[in-house]
Amino acid sequence: MGILRTAFFLVGTTIGAGFLTGAELVRFFGGGGGMAYLVSCAAWCAQTAFFLYLGKKYGGFAGAMRALFGRAADVLSCALLAALFVPCAGMLAGLDALFPALSPAASVGGLLLVLLVTRGGMKRMSLFNAILVPLLLGYVVCTGGGGEFALHAAGTGKGLLYACMNVAFSAPAVMEAGRNARAPVRAALLAAGCIFVCGIFILGAVSAAGTSASPMPYLAAVGAHPLFFVALACAVLTSLASSLLPLLSACERYAGGQKNAAKALVALAAFLLSRLGLSGVVGALYPVAGVFGALFSAVCVFDEYLFKKHDERVHSRRQQT
């Protein structure tokens, strides 16, 4: 993938229903100021570039996990894939929160649409992100902004937790995208810049309108204009697809002749988890996913840059002896 296309793919994995409605941003950065959000985006950029690099070096998600963890790869892969049910539930809960009169038909319809999109694999997902993400970013830039932020470090801890949470949600898809990505660092920098600007515009609109107490503060700030729902559809489609695709790919690899039944169970589990509601998913499950993401990133960095090199030196000394 080209740099711009990779960047749009990365943005699509991160900006979902919770981000666009402002629910995530207000929960993590409502009182923290712009500096905390800047630190969060920088941490997200560094981790995302690292996982793109791993995917490029080892040939995608499965190859990277085998290279890093050996016999423990299957166990850790399952744990990482299980975490993907959380963003899936968040996207579906966001749809039902926006269209309460249509619940649960809204989330079921969104889930079916994304299942159709993911049938085309990573190539189709990348194409959809390249088309939809610019529309989403353009809408936010045109409608957001207006507030003021104090440039202090308050809330930096929450900001780092938020970055690690998003990395945990997107790591399998990012490593898979890294297989064919060009210039991972530049793509991650461009994506982080887009996400930073988008988040600041959303928080600015919420700050100017004084709607931070709303369950969906950005929607309350800009109003229920039809364009908002178009932008939300873009956000849900790209984010939900990037979370579902690794789960569906795992069904293809491991379920054999029962792959369709396994995919149906994955979709059902995501739907049932979404019954916690948007506030329940964001408030209860997202922080736990953030801690898991921080631990996972730390272990991967340690294994790639410290443990493996130490092991290679020991092996080289044994050969020389």
In this prediction, residue 321 carries a pLDDT of 44
Burial of residue 178, with CB atoms counted within 10 A of its CB: 0-12 exposed, 13-18 middle, 19 or more buried: buried
As a whole number of angstroms, the distance between CA 310 and CA 167 comes to 26
Task: Tell me what pLDDT residue 189 has.
Answer: 96
Taking only Cα atoms into account, the Rg of the chain, rounded to an integer number of angstroms, comes to: 19
Give every CB contact of residue 243 below 8 A, 6+ residues apart in sequence. Answer: 13, 84, 87, 88, 91, 169, 170, 173
| Residues 208-266 pLDDT 10s | 888 888 888 998 998 888 888 888 888 888 888 888 888 988 888 888 778 889 999 99
Residues 304 and 290: their CA atoms lie apart, in Å, by 21
Q: Would you kindly state where each structural domain of the chain is located, as residue ranges?
A: 3-320
68, 303 contact by CB (below 8 A): yes
Q: Is the pLDDT of residue 299 over 50?
A: yes
Query: Looking at residues 14-19, what average pLDDT do you find?
Result: 86
pLDDT at 55 over 50: yes
Q: How confident is the model at residue 280 (pLDDT cuts 50, 70, 90)?
A: confident
Architecture of the domain defined by 3-320: Orthogonal Bundle (1.10)
DSSP conformation letters of 227-277 = HHHHHHHHHHHHHHHHHHHHHHHHHHHHSGGGHHHHHHHHHHHHHHHGGGH
Mean predicted confidence (pLDDT) in 184-193: 94
Band (pLDDT 50/70/90 cuts) for residue 315 is: very low
- The more confident residue out of 142 and 309 is 142
Q: What number of other Cβ atoms are within 10 A of residue 276's Cβ? A: 17
Instruction: State whether residue 31 is helix, strand or coil.
Output: coil
Alpha-carbon distance 51 to 193, whole Å? 18
User: Could you check whether the bond before residue 104 is cis, i.e. omega within 30 degrees of 0?
Assistant: yes
Is the pLDDT score of 188 beyond 90?
yes
Q: What pLDDT is attached to residue 208?
A: 86
User: Which amino acid, one-letter code, is at 54?
Assistant: L
Is pLDDT at 124 greater than 90 in this prediction? Answer: no
pLDDT value at residue 150 = 53
Q: What angle do CA 253, 177, 190 make, to 5 degrees?
A: 160
Task: Annotate 168-177 with b (16+ C-beta within 10 A) or e (fewer).
Answer: bbbbbbbbbb
pLDDT of 317 = 47
CA dihedral (8, 13, 17, 23) in degrees, to 10, reads: -100
The pLDDT, as a whole number, for residue 126 is 80
pTM: 0.85
Question: Please, are residues 286 and 24 in contact by the beta-carbon 8 Å criterion?
Answer: yes
Q: Write the DSSP symbol of residue 180.
A: T
- Give the separation between CA 282 and CA 225, rounded to whole angstroms: 24
Q: At 310, is the pLDDT very low, low, confident or very high (cuts 50, 70, 90)?
A: very low
Which single residue is written with the structure tokens 């990365």? Answer: 10
Round the average pLDDT of the chain to a whole number and report it. Answer: 84
Q: Is residue 111 predicted with pLDDT exceeding 70? A: yes
> Per-residue pLDDT for 151 more than 60?
no
Distance, in Å, from the CA atom of 132 to the CA atom of 281, rounded to the nearest integer, reads: 25
Q: Say how far apart CA 235 and CA 80 lie, in whole Å.
A: 22
Q: What is the pLDDT of residue 58?
A: 93
Query: Distance between CA 86 and CA 79 in Å, rounded?
Result: 12
The residue that leads in pLDDT, 117 or 169, is 169
> How far apart (Å, rounded) are the C-alpha atoms in residues 175 and 303?
16
